[in-house]
Structures are given as structure tokens and as C-alpha cells.
Chains A and B, each alone.
Chain A
Amino acid sequence: MNELIWIVPLLPLLGFVFIGTLRNFLPHWLVSLIGCGTVLAAFAASITLFGEVYRARMVGGTGVMTQELFTWISVSDFQVSFRFLVDPLSAIMLLIVTGIGFLIHLYSTSYMHKDPGFAKFFSYLNLFIFFMLLLVLGSNYLVMFIGWEGVGLCSYLLIGFWYKNTNYAKAAKKAFVMNRIGDLGFLIALFFMIAHFGTLEFAGVLGQAKLMVSGDVTLLIITLLLFVAATGKSAQIPLFTWLPDAMAGPTPVSALIHAATMVTAGIYMIARSNIMFTLSPITMQVIAIVGVATAVVAAFIALTQNDIKKVLAYSTVSQLGYMFLGLGVGAFTGAFFHVLTHAFFKALLFLGAGSVIHAMSDEQDMRKMGGLRKALPIAFATMLIGTIAIAGIPPFAGFFSKDEILAYAFVENPIFWVLGLAGALMTAFYMFRLLFMTFSGDFRGTQLQKSHLHESPWPMTVALIILAVLSVLGGMLNVPEALQGHHWLANFLSPVFADSAAVSVPFHLDHTTEYLLMGISTVAALAMALLAYKRYVKSEARPEQLTTDRGLLYRLSYHKLYVDEAYAMLITKPLNNLADIFKKVDVKLVDGLVNRVGKGFLSAGNGIRHLQTGHVSFYIFMMVLGVAGIMLYGLIAN
């Protein structure tokens, strides 16, 4: 089986090439068929691979399969191969990428139906799946880096999909550039790894790393740099502002790239390198702090946003923050578990929002929605499930994963737990706010929009329903012992995190405390849902009222803490000014100097020319001076 790994990424690549080159000739149905078909086939192949790994795990093996295609770069004794690795971690990621990828492809066949760039869209999506699979499958950091940057390219292309809108094009550029800042960190980390370990293969790097002592400086540098990379790709402070802007892309893109898969690459990468991080306590602290700060800040901003996709975008940033918090406190399984459940419910929420937007004739402002429950029953039902899941109310998926992270955080430092809980409360509030503003009350849009309201066609609803089911059941994958569960996911992934587990203090929390924590977070989430209900349904708030509350905190939240403005003032503007200065320096000073040298010769020439007076007496005078000089030389030299 392991010699067939390469087929998984190849399929979407073929889809991309085929659709891409023939996009002007293929009919829509064929594009849909190829686009979805290749991903579905890749999903099928992934299931087989997963089955293989699963069987190996069941009999106690590590479930690692590798396949080497060819040597990619080889200089002197440094060699990097195109080499794939399937282990429990990547097997699950494969399922997420191809599975959710397929659902979103399916959804898009309908959603993008009227778009003139239909075929282009599918070719980009297929390309994205290809790069994402490379990222997941790479058996060394460089192949991972191909995927890492490749998904960035696809993100760029898809955010700027409607490129005629200059703002969208700018958002795409912003996403690419911010990601690149992180990528530089990644690249430098690679150099350190090469210098220190002499290889980029996971097995080689991690195998050597686990022999090092905790707190090693090289590991600290490498992990910090990798974390910088992760903040770019996974939209953490300080590089998170691109993600909300990325909502410029079509909604399926937001669901696939900016919620379910690409943005979790940072977590995947850190989980993959877990031993290095475990041995760098300082980095772990930094990650936990950044993670929890991002979780809280993004949730705080999400409280007041009115654009349905913006709310979800900040929610994604916030949830990613939780995942990093999980990584930072050593809950690798928990963080990855959250990646999984988040992929289900956030994809669901985005697709649901897409259905709403689709029905509302591309309206995204929730103030103009309301009362859509009747027109879009399936969208409502599924989004309700998604909301409950993300709010952390049992027994839906989000509860289990978030709870696990918070439990670890509590053990690590109760302050993390408190902040995490605060974020969770805000999450519950803004999600129910979104739900109520959209689906409850009266319709606030135009008559024209009202007449167009419709439930989405089957490909969209099917995708929604499947994701909803996953959002309900996803939590069962890793039920904690306190709830009579078996930690299936943790057991499955244990070989990946074995090294970390060996060097860290085993997680321990007595069941009473764990019940208490769960109880607090559940009750608080329900309370927040109620608060939102009171505020947006009971008081039957009108859209104008929804925006009248103008406290300081409200303004801060509404204006996204002015982070974009701060970046513009602190980074973009000084850089542009510097560029202007350099531009002037280049022309005036550097080139001026060159020109001055040239002019210097000319003026010297003019000076000498004046000696050429035309008077013989002067010439002879000069000659005599010359002769005198020569004679003087003769006297001295002898």
C-alpha cells in the first residue's frame, strides 16, 4: 500500500492541470465531475491508507509508512527527497483534507454555479488540495514547506478570486505577504535544523532532538522560529489581521482554506515537531500566552461584527488560539482534537453562512437579515448544531475538544483556564448572536431579496447535513475517562507524541475537579446563549438599535482594536517613507556621486584647456618649468 501514497496528491494535481488547461472548453458538469471526482478518489485512497495505519495500530505497531519518490535537491552532502510519510497524525489529516475538501467541492458546484470563473475556481481548489496534501504528507520539513507556501499561493489566488475588486486583490496580497513573514521564520528554522541535525527528515531531526536536554538554546531558536511561521499561517497575534480580510474570497474557500484546513497547518506542524517544543519550555510558555491572548482578543472583536463572515473569521482566529493554547500547555492530542472538531463545525458554519449569503443575493450584513429560519430550515438546523458545537455545550463535538484543552490549561496555570473560559463565554455569546440575528425575528432586507429567499440546492444541503452529523458525533472520538470514555484519538496518536509524553509530567486531574470545570464551562456557555437570546430575540432589537451601544469597549471591539490602523502607522507607513528616502538617496546621492565623478573629469579638462592659451611664450615658460622640475629631480635622485 505504501507505494501508492503518491497517488493521493497526484489526483487533485491532475484535476488542476486538466481543468486549468481546458477551462474554456469544458462544460460545467464535467468540471464539477472532475473537480469533485479527483478529490473523492483521493479521499477513497486516504481511507485505504488510514485503514492500513489503523490496522497497524490495532496490533500495536506505530503505523508509519513512507515512500520516496526522487531526490529533489542535492548539494554536496545535503540531500532532500520528495518523500512521503503516513502515520497516525497525517492519516487523520488526510481524511480531513480530502473528506472535508470533497464536501466543499460538492457544495461549490452549486454555490459557484453562476460564476463566470467556475472552472478556474475548481482548478484552484484542486491545486489547493494538492498542496495541502503535500504539506500533510511530506516526510521532511522541506516538502512540508512546499505545501506550506503552496497553500499560501492558493489562498492568495482564491481570496483574490474576484480580482476586479481592488480591495479583494489587496486583501489577497496582504494574506500572502503576512504569510511570507512567517515563512521566513520557517526557512531560517530549516537552516538551523540543517546546521544542527544535518537533515530535514522528521525522523532524523526529531530522533536527534529527543536526545537533547530540555531548554537547549538551539531548540529554543528553532521552535521560536517555527512558531513565528505558525503565527503567520494560523493567524495568531501579531500576524492575524489577514484572516478576516481573507473573507473577500468565495465562502467555500473560507470554509475550506480559512477554517478547516490551511490555517490549522501551524498546529499540525507544531504537533508534528512536538518533541522539540516539549524540550523548549520557554517556547511553550510563549505559545500558550500568544494562543490564549489571540483566543480572547479575537473573540472580543467578534462580539460586535455585523458581517456574518467576519464574525466567523474572528471566531476562527479565536479557535485557533485555543489550539495554540492547547499546544502550549502540552495538550497535543487536545489541540489536534480541536483541529478535527473545529474543521467539522467551522466548515459547517461557513457553509451555512454561505447558504444564507446565497439565499440573500450576496448580502453579508446581518443587520439586513433576520427571520430566515422559515425560508432556510436546513441551513438553520445545521447552523444551530454548529453553534452549539462551537459554544462548547455537551455532547456536541466542540465541548470535548475545548474541554480537554481547558483542563490541561487549568493544570498548567489556572490563569490560562480563566482567560480561556472568558473566551469561551464570548464565543457562546457571539455565535448565538449570529444565529439569532440571522434566523430569528423579522426579515430586515429588501423586498427583492425577500422574494429570492430559497433553500439551497441539494449539493449544498447534503454537505451541510454531513458536516452537521460530524459536528454532533465528532466529540466521541476522544471521550475523556472522566466520562467513561477511552481516549480513542489519544491512543491512536500516541506514537506521534510518545517522545513528548516520555519527558513531560503526565497529565493528572482528579475527576471531581474535571467535573467541576466541565460544569462551569457548560453552565456559563448556556448562560451566554440565554443572554444573546434575551438581547437579540426577546427585546426584538431593531437593526439600528443593534449598533447604538457605543461604549468604549464596544468601539474597541467594533474597530477591531485598531490593529490594522496601528500596523499601517507603525510598519507600512515608515517602510514606505523609508522607501521614498531610499529612492531619493539613490537618484540624488549615489547616482549623483557617480555623475559628479564624471563631471569632475570634465571640469578638470576645462581647467587644463585654459592652460592652452595659444601663446608660445607661455608654452615655453611651462616647458622651462618642466625642465627645471626634471633637473631638480636629477639633483635629488643623485
Chain B
Amino acid sequence: MGAIITLSLLAILLLYLGLFKAKKALLPVTLIGLVLAVGFEWYGWDKIAEPQYSGMVLFDRYAIAFSILCIFIAGLVLSLSKAYFKAISENVAEYYTLILFSLVGALLVCSYHNFAILFIGIEVMSVALYILVGIRKKDRASNEAALKYFLMGAFSTGFLLFGITLMYGATGSFDLSELQQYVRNTPDHQISPLFFGGILLMIVGLCFKVGAAPFHFWTPDVYDGSPILVTAYMSTVVKVASFAGFLRLFSMVLIPLDGFWEPLLLTIAIITLFVGNISALVQSSFKRMLAYSSIAHAGYMLFAILSIGNLSPSAILTYGFAYSLASVVAFAALILVKRQIGTDQFESFNGLAKKNPFLAVAITIAMLSLAGIPLTAGLLANL
């Protein structure tokens, strides 16, 4: 809880800093705040985890690990953003603030123990993003992306909410522990059809958030239209947090019903992999290629949920870490290349090895990692 409070306060502090034109202090302060938040999280590592605040949140090791990962990645994205945001926007402080608010949402999603918090977390995370996507006010693509994201997001939130409602209707509770009891104690054939409906709708909602097919359509357009670093943030932190939430629901509550949802998720995972990989092949824009590759990776991570077991969390965690790192490196490289050459088409990468060998090596490693090549940690996660 300390981390969430710290980050919320930090966001507000940053707004004030922006007000007082202390732009130079923005990044250091943010980073200090993030380190502090990690510290709070770390502090809770060895404590016995109990649902807190009337069972609203649960800071177990699972939540802490994913939270730290989210904070770390966000920190990474922010450190890269110093020069970038100055170039595209006047309101740098707002940008920091919004990312931090979104991060708070992500942490909530990682540590929810009650559907209410899940919903709030997702909304907090998303609302900040709606704005971030459109933060380049004069850029039509950016605006269009924001609008699209908002429309589709709203649509899918509806499904999620509907799903939660149906589950509530079946069980009379938003609490994960109680849901767990319900599933365990009710014989399979007596479980209410409402509950099954709820599962399906929640799958729809979560699939939208992680960008799994056929709910991925927003991803390429939005990723393409957003400022690069926002894309980086969305394709990493948001995705990891969504998966953490996804996995918690399935591993805590829905395991006994795996006969019901497994075929469905498997189909979705395969379609996602197919669409992601195949479409990535034919892209000529680096950024768009990354967008599709992130869809494909969502497919891989779905497999971890499918083969649910003791190792699933660590698999997703490792995968998330490796994938996020590689993505951030790739996006950072993209920024550099774009600044030097002015386009993100593949041709601009020709001859990079000669002009800037280290950048080339970094991109290569990142690409290989994204392609699932080992040593670069990606492989491990492919399990």
C-alpha cells in the first residue's frame, strides 16, 4: 500500500513542480519516488500476506514481484523520455504525472483481491492512457489514436463490468476468496450459467486489454499513432499488469473449471500468435512491426496461463521482464534512429551497423530476444 500511496503523492508533487517550472527537477524527483516505492514494496516481501482493507487488496509476493517489475519498467521508460518529451510537448510535467497515475492503476491491477479494485485499477490505468495517447495535441494521428483507444476501451470495459456483474449475480460477492470458495464447493453441474457467462465476458475484457485477437484491432493503430514512449509504456507495463491480473483470477479462482475455458483460451492464443507473427512479417514500419510483435507476445503469454501451475507466475514474470526490456530497448533505438534519419521505415536501418555499431548491436539483441532467441532472456520465458 505504501508504494501506491507514494506514487499517488509523487504524481501530485510533480504537477506542482510543473506549475513552478522546475522542469529540471522532474526526472530526478520521479526516479527518487520510484525507488522509494520499490523500497516499500520490498519491505513487504517477507511479511505474511493477508487481504487488507476489507479484503480489497492482497500484497503477496506475487503482487509485489509484478509491481516491482511495473515500476522498474516505468522508470526505464521515463528515464528515456527526458529529451523526447521536451521535443514533442510543452507540458512535460503532465506527462510524468499521467504515467505515474497509470502506474498506480497498474499496481492496483497487480494486487487486487476484489473485483472492485480490479475494475478501478484498470480504469485508472486506462483513463490516464487515453490522455497520454493524445498528448501530441497538434498531431492528427495522435488524436485519432486517442479517440480510437477511448472508444474501443470504453466498449471493452463494458464487457468487463458486465462479466463482473454476472459473477456477482451467481455468487453474491466481488471477493476473490469467496469466489474461490464458491467454485470449489459447488459441484460442477450446479455452478450457475451466470457464472460461466461471467467468465466469458471477463475473458473478452481482459483479452482486449492485452491485445489478444480478435480484440487486437486497436493495437496497431493506437501504437502507431501514439508518441513512441507512450507506445513503449503501453506495450510493456500495461500488458504485464493486465496479465498479472488475468493470471490471478484464473489461478486463484477458475482453475477447477479449466475444462471450460482452456479450449477457448487456446484458440485465442493460437489466433493471436498467428495474426501477430504473420502481420509483423509484412510491415515496413518498424514501429508497426513492434506493435504486431507485441500482439504475438500476448499470444505467448496466454500459453503460460493455459499451462497453469506453480510455475506460471514466474514464467510470466520472467517473460514479462525479458519482453519488456527488449521492447524498451527497441523503442529507444527507434527514437534514436528516427531522430537521426527522420523515418521509421526499415530502409532507415540500412547501414546502421557501420554508422552506429553499438546501436545496431542493441537492436540486434533486442530483435533476437523478441524473436525468442535464447541467451537473451526471452527464451526462458517462452516456456
What residues make up the interface of A, taking CB atoms closer than 8 Å to B? 601-602, 604-606, 608-609, 611-612, 614, 616, 618-620, 622-623, 625-627, 630-631, 633-634, 637-638
Task: Decide if B39 is an interface residue (CB 8 Å cutoff).
Answer: no
Contact of A637 with B260 in the complex, beta carbons under 8 Å: yes
Task: Decide if B204 is an interface residue (CB 8 Å cutoff).
Answer: yes
Docked Cα-Cα span, A604 to B221, in Å, equals 19
Name B260-277 residues within 8 Å CB distance of A. 260, 263-264, 275
Q: Given A612-B217, A619-B218, A622-B214, are A630 and B203 also a contact pair (CB < 8 Å)?
A: yes
Name B16-70 residues within 8 Å CB distance of A. none
Contact of A625 with B275 in the complex, beta carbons under 8 Å: no
**Distance to closest chain B CB from A373 (angstroms):** 82
Contact of A616 with B152 in the complex, beta carbons under 8 Å: yes
Docked Cα-Cα span, A614 to B283, in Å, equals 15
Task: Decide if B159 is an interface residue (CB 8 Å cutoff).
Answer: yes
**Distance to closest chain B CB from A444 (angstroms):** 75
Q: Given A605-B281, A630-B264, A638-B196, are A612 and B221 also a contact pair (CB < 8 Å)?
A: yes
Docked Cα-Cα span, A625 to B159, in Å, equals 14
Contact of A605 with B264 in the complex, beta carbons under 8 Å: no
Most B C-beta atoms less than 10 A away, residue of A606, A622, A630: A630
Taking A620-B155, A623-B156 as known contacts, 12 extra A-B pairs with beta carbons closer than 8 A to each other, sorted by chain A number, are A602-B282, A605-B278, A608-B279, A612-B220, A612-B221, A623-B214, A626-B204, A626-B214, A627-B201, A630-B203, A631-B197, A634-B196
Docked Cα-Cα span, A608 to B280, in Å, equals 10
The one of B199, B264, B278 in contact with A604, judged by C-beta atoms closer than 8 angstroms, is B278
Q: Which chain B residues lie closer than 8 Å to A623 at the CB level?
A: 152, 155-156, 208, 214-215, 217
Contact of A626 with B215 in the complex, beta carbons under 8 Å: yes
Task: Decide if B193 is an interface residue (CB 8 Å cutoff).
Answer: yes
Contact of A606 with B264 in the complex, beta carbons under 8 Å: no
Task: Decide if B88 is an interface residue (CB 8 Å cutoff).
Answer: no
Docked Cα-Cα span, A612 to B159, in Å, equals 22
Task: Decide if B200 is an interface residue (CB 8 Å cutoff).
Answer: yes
Q: Which chain B residues lie closer than 8 Å to A627 at the CB level?
A: 159, 201, 204
Docked Cα-Cα span, A425 to B204, in Å, equals 101
Q: Which chain A residues lie closer than 8 Å to B353 at the CB level?
A: none
The contact string, 1 if C-beta is below 8 Å from chain A, for chain B 206-244, is: 001000001101101100000000000000000000000
Interface of A is mostly: helix
Selected A-B contacts with CB under 8 Å, 22 pairs = A604-B278, A605-B278, A605-B279, A605-B280, A608-B278, A612-B217, A612-B220, A616-B147, A616-B151, A616-B152, A619-B152, A620-B151, A620-B155, A623-B217, A626-B204, A627-B159, A630-B264, A634-B196, A634-B199, A634-B200, A637-B264, A638-B260
Q: Which chain A residues lie closer than 8 Å to B200 at the CB level?
A: 630-631, 633-634
Docked Cα-Cα span, A611 to B219, in Å, equals 13
Q: Which chain A residues lie closer than 8 Å to B218 at the CB level?
A: 619
Contact of A609 with B204 in the complex, beta carbons under 8 Å: no
What residues make up the interface of B, taking CB atoms closer than 8 Å to A? 147-148, 151-152, 155-156, 159, 193, 196-197, 199-201, 203-204, 208, 214-215, 217-218, 220-221, 260, 263-264, 275, 278-283
Contact of A602 with B260 in the complex, beta carbons under 8 Å: no
**Distance to closest chain A CB from B217 (angstroms):** 4
The one of B203, B263, B275 in contact with A608, judged by C-beta atoms closer than 8 angstroms, is B275
**Distance to closest chain B CB from A165 (angstroms):** 51
Contact of B204 with A616 in the complex, beta carbons under 8 Å: no
**Distance to closest chain A CB from B248 (angstroms):** 21
Shortest Cβ distance from A624 into B: residue: B155
**Distance to closest chain B CB from A628 (angstroms):** 11
Docked Cα-Cα span, A634 to B261, in Å, equals 9
Contact of B282 with A609 in the complex, beta carbons under 8 Å: yes
Shortest Cβ distance from A637 into B: residue: B260
Docked Cα-Cα span, A618 to B214, in Å, equals 12
Q: Which chain A residues lie closer than 8 Å to B280 at the CB level?
A: 605
**Distance to closest chain A CB from B193 (angstroms):** 6
**Distance to closest chain A CB from B163 (angstroms):** 11
Q: Which chain A residues lie closer than 8 Å to B193 at the CB level?
A: 638
Contact of A634 with B197 in the complex, beta carbons under 8 Å: yes
Shortest Cβ distance from A613 into B: residue: B217
Please give me the 3 A-B residue pairs with the lowest Cβ-Cβ distance, nearest first. Answer: A605-B282, A619-B217, A626-B214
**Distance to closest chain B CB from A612 (angstroms):** 6
Q: Which chain A residues lie closer than 8 Å to B208 at the CB level?
A: 623
Q: Which chain B residues lie closer than 8 Å to A606 at the CB level?
A: 282
Q: Given A614-B221, A634-B197, A637-B260, are A601 and B214 also a contact pair (CB < 8 Å)?
A: no
**Distance to closest chain B CB from A133 (angstroms):** 57
**Distance to closest chain B CB from A629 (angstroms):** 8
**Distance to closest chain B CB from A618 (angstroms):** 8
Docked Cα-Cα span, A625 to B213, in Å, equals 12
The one of B199, B201, B260, B279 in contact with A609, judged by C-beta atoms closer than 8 angstroms, is B279
Q: Which chain A residues lie closer than 8 Å to B281 at the CB level?
A: 601-602, 605
Q: Which chain A residues lie closer than 8 Å to B159 at the CB level?
A: 627
Q: Given A630-B200, A630-B204, are A601 and B278 also a contact pair (CB < 8 Å)?
A: yes
Q: Which chain B residues lie closer than 8 Å to A626 at the CB level?
A: 204, 214-215
Q: Which chain B residues lie closer than 8 Å to A612 at the CB level?
A: 217, 220-221, 279
Docked Cα-Cα span, A633 to B220, in Å, equals 27
Shortest Cβ distance from B159 into A: residue: A627
Q: Which chain A residues lie closer than 8 Å to B278 at the CB level?
A: 601, 604-605, 608
Docked Cα-Cα span, A389 to B226, in Å, equals 103
Contact of A620 with B152 in the complex, beta carbons under 8 Å: yes
Shortest Cβ distance from A619 into B: residue: B217
**Distance to closest chain A CB from B191 (angstroms):** 9
Shortest Cβ distance from A623 into B: residue: B215
Q: Which chain A residues lie closer than 8 Å to B148 at the CB level?
A: 616, 619
Contact of A633 with B264 in the complex, beta carbons under 8 Å: yes
Q: Which chain A residues lie closer than 8 Å to B214 at the CB level?
A: 622-623, 625-626
Q: Which chain A residues lie closer than 8 Å to B204 at the CB level?
A: 626-627, 630
**Distance to closest chain A CB from B233 (angstroms):** 22
Shortest Cβ distance from A621 into B: residue: B217
**Distance to closest chain B CB from A536 (angstroms):** 81
Docked Cα-Cα span, A612 to B216, in Å, equals 10
